[in-house]
Each structure stands twice: as structure tokens, then as C-alpha cells.
Amino acid sequence: MRLVRLYRTEGEGRTQSGLPRATTLSRPGLAFVVWVIVALATSLRFVMDTASVGRFDARVVVGVSALLSGLLVATVHWPNRSSGASEHPAPALSLLLMAIASGLAQAGLPLLVFANRHSDAPAGSVVAFWTTAFVGVVLVGVGAAAGRDRLLRLAAALLLLVSAAGVLANWERPSSFSLLVRYTGPQVYMALAALAWVVIVFYLAARVEKLGWATSALPIAIGSGLAGAVLLIGSAPGLSTLLSPIILLSAGASAVLYLMVLSVGPGRGALIAGTAIAAAPAAITLLTVLESAVGIMGPRPILVAPVIGASAVGACAIAIALADSPRKRVVPPGRLALGLAVAALLAAAAGLLAPALGVAVRGGLSNGEVFAADFTMAGFETVAGWLAFAMALIVLVSVRSGLGRWRAAGILGALVVLAMAWTVLRTMPLHTWVTWIPPEVQQDYGTEFASLVFTPLSSAWQLIGLSLSALAAGLGAWSVWLLPEAVDAASVPVSEGRS
């Protein structure tokens, strides 16, 4: 069994060992297939892991996933000499470190996540944020940091993270989505597990790129498989448990995800895999829409319009993160466009600090008294505030670097999409739980005993940021499309930070 060849080998792209460097996926069609597989595997793993909480021993779920991951890597990539390159043996210590890292990635870190989640705490939307969106965005950030257009892709990663939060915050109303306010400790552990997983898979992918699969597959497979076997021996599950569809689907999705992330490599492959993982919340939401449409799982709990708006913003962020550098360039726009872009970012930053939502809470206490509170939330506590800031940052980086023609059009298109999404996401906070409001009131939100109402305020700074971003991007696009000085990018020296 062999995977299709994922990389285009370029003549100048070889490592010191003489093995071909996996710099880019070979064809756009193949890149799309890989993206879809990773997004579906991430979504399925989250859904099945969630279904297993409270029903199965976490050691069994993680153990089967780790064991199957090792088997899949060994089956697909060992031995793998399809490239025809000679193998260079690695030091024993390096192979041992790869095995340990693989076991930690597929057994230790998932077990840490399971240890910090329960059937109803933290909320499923919060768990999805840290185990899918945050993982994917960090992977995009790590992949972008080592390549060209790094600043633009990092800004796109921020926009992608905000769009995922916008999707998850609209899974229900009143939403249970509250980042780092309720169950802060478990959320921190999940975030640390996500960071560690990205570091490990990036390290393993880099080792694979340098040493080749024929050398790397066996330690990676042994590390993951052995860790999974230890967990299964310690939990001693019955055969009926091992054959449960929930566990098998979770394990299969986890194994496929692990295989694909390692196979696409640490360069552009990390961008493709990362954006796909971060898109899982939107993919899961589409599944709930389909289920409710055919009446399988009952009524639809999500708010459709805000979810569609946030998903559209995510699609724009993915397109910006994955777009190739322009083939044609012009002299970067003048001081006016750059000044407008800087002003847009400053205005959007002010919007993060300015009041953005009015909040009214009404409820009853156990002693019969009525509780009432009215307060405001700042822009950094809302989805819309971060949308305006992320888009202003993208425009500033693009204008400063110089726009290619199609990138200029893409940035303008993204601004149009974001402006429409902003209008439907204005009332969406990043947390509904407030520490100083009695828990007995907050637990009754959405019932006849307590209400939580959000009212959008003027959001003037956010609007100014969006308007100035549009002006700066429009001026940049005008200079690119209407001035005749476009030249071949290969003939003009470009600094590392330019797009």
C-alpha cells in the first residue's frame, strides 16, 4: 500500500543527505484532495472523541488511535524507496528521539486533553476551539514563519482563528462558548497540548524531509504503536469495547490525520494541513445543518446567518494563507496608501479597547431576590472587534510589501466579505460567562429564570478601521491595475518580507 506521491521534486531542492526536499505539493488538485482529507479526518475525530467522553476509558480511545497510527505509518511508508534516493543512516539517539516524540504526540498529549474534558465541561465549542482551530492556526503560523510572505500568512492565521471562534460562538444561543473565563485550567492544558503537538509533528516532518521515510517510518511507527499498546495493556479493555464503532472511527480519523500531516511536510504542506485542521469547526457545523435538514438529529441549535458569515471569513483567510506569491509586481504604493493602512490598524486597535457590546442580565437568586446587571464589553471580547483588527493587519502587510494584481483583487474581495460578515457578528462575544455574576443566574441563561441580552454599541473605531482598510486596499489595487509599470517578479530584487 502506497500513498500517491505528494511532493514535486525540484532540481535545486535537495537536503544535505541528497534526498529530495518536499517543498510543495505537486498539483493543485492533489493539494485540494489532501486538504479535504485532513479537514474531514479532524472533524470526524473531534465528533467521535466527544461521543466517547463518559462512555469509554480515555486510555482505550487514545491507545487504539496511537496503535493504529503506528500501523498506518508503517504500512504506507516503510519501506518506501520510491524516490530512488540513497538512504543515509541516522544516529541511534536521533531515531530514539523520533520514537519518543511520536509516542508523545499520539498518546501522551491526547491523553492530557481527555483528562481535562468531561461530558459537559468545558463546553464542546470550547474544546473544539483548542483541539482543532487553535492547533491548525499554530501549525499555519509555524509553517509560515520559515517561508516567504510570512507576515501576510501570519495575519491570515489570526483572521482564520477569529473566524473559527465566530463559528463556534454561534453553535447555540445563549452560547456556552467562553474562552479562558470558565474552566480556565483545563483550557490552558488543552492549549499547551496543542502547542506541543504542533512542535512535535513539525519536528518529525522535518526529520522525514531530511532522512527520508525509509529511515524515519520505523521509529515513528514504533513510538506511536508502542505507546498505544502500553495504554491498552494498562486499561485491559474487552473485545466489544475495542470493536466499538465510536472508538474505531476515532482511531481511524486520528491515524489518517497523523499520517497526512507528516506526509505533506513542514513547508507549504504545513500551511495546507493547518488551514484544513482549523476549518474543522465549519465542517462540523455543516454536518449539523445537514442533519437537521433531513430530520435525523432533531432541531438545529446553531444560528445559521452568523455561522455562514464566519465561515466565509475563514474561506478568505485560507485563500490568503495559501495563495502563491504574485508573478507580477509593481513599485509598492506611495505614502498615502501606507498611511491609510497604518491609520486603519490603529483605529482597529482602538476598537479592541472601546466599548462594543451592551449586556443586560436578569435572573432570580435562590433566596427569591431578583438579580439585575447592565455592563459593557470591549471590542477585544467580541468576534467583530478581532475581525476588524485582523483585516486591517492584512491590508497593512499587503500594502507595505507591494501588491500583485490578483492579490490586490483578492484583498478587496476579502474586505467585502468581511464587511458583510461583520454586520451579522457584531453581537457575538468571545465569552458569555462573567466571573462576578452569580453562577446560579448564569446557569439558567436561556430559560424563563434568567436572560442574557447583547446590544451592539456604535463600534465607531471598528467602522473607521474597516473604512480606512478599504481605502488603503483600493488605492493599492488602483496603483497595481492601472499603472503600467508591472514587471516580472523574477527580474526585481524583493526583500524577504515582501509579498
| Phi then psi dihedrals of residue 455, to 5 deg | -125, 125
- pLDDT bin (cut points 50, 70, 90) of residue 24 is very low
- pLDDT bin (cut points 50, 70, 90) of residue 118 is confident
- pLDDT digit string, tens, across residues 344-366: 999 999 999 999 999 999 998 88
Q: Is the pTM of this model over 0.85?
A: yes
Cell of 105: 504526540
- Give yes or no for residue 489 having a pLDDT over 80: no
- Give yes or no for residue 14 having a pLDDT over 70: no
Which has the closest alpha carbon to 73: 2, 173, 163?
A: 2
Give the pLDDT score at 328: 55
Within the chain, how many helices (H) and strands (E) appear? 19, 5
User: Does residue 65 or residue 5 have the better pLDDT?
Assistant: 65
- Give yes or no for residue 343 having a pLDDT over 90: yes
pLDDT above 70 as % of the chain: 83
Q: Which helix (H) or strand (E) holds 92?
A: helix 92-103
Give the pLDDT score at 327: 58
- What average pLDDT does range 131-160 have in this prediction? 90
10-48 b/e (C-beta count within 10 Å ≥ 16 → b): eeeeebeeebbbbbbbeeeeebeebbebbbbbbbbbbbb
Pairing of strands 450-456, 355-364: antiparallel
Give the pLDDT score at 16: 35
Average pLDDT, the chain: 84
C-alpha dist (Å) from residue 480 to 17, 201, 223, 344, 405 = 43, 39, 52, 20, 6
Give the pLDDT score at 13: 40
